[in-house]
Amino acid sequence: MASKYEIGQKVIIRPVSEQPLTKRESDIESYAGQIGEVSNYYWISPRTGKVFYIYTVRIGVDYKEVVLYEDEIEACMV
């Protein structure tokens, strides 16, 4: 399975929908709606046949890097 997003691609950070929010989700929620750029991605395979992608996304004027799961971002049409 190939990654959904590529390095350099613009993405929007999606709001977290689960309640109650964990500490990590609460931190990510503060970035919801912001546009960022994928700077790198990694895959993990906790079980045979299952692959999950994790993305490093740069956001803001200071290029803060945030690590996000694939379902926490969506493609931006900018």
- Which pLDDT tens digit goes with each residue over 3-57? 899 999 999 998 777 666 676 667 778 888 999 999 999 998 887 778 889 999 9
Taking the whole predicted model, whether its pTM rises above 0.85 is answered as no
- Please report, for the chain, the start and end positions of each structural domain, with discontinuous segments joined by +: 10-75
SS3 of residue 68 by DSSP: strand
- Comparing 1 with 6, the larger pLDDT belongs to 6
For residue 36, the model assigns a pLDDT of 95
In DSSP notation, 5-60 reads S-TT-EEEEPPP--SSPPHHHHHHHTTTT-EEEEEEEEEE-SSTT--EEEEEEEET
- Give dist(CA 50, CA 37) in Å, integer: 26
For residue 58, the model assigns a pLDDT of 96
> Strand pairing partners for 38?
57
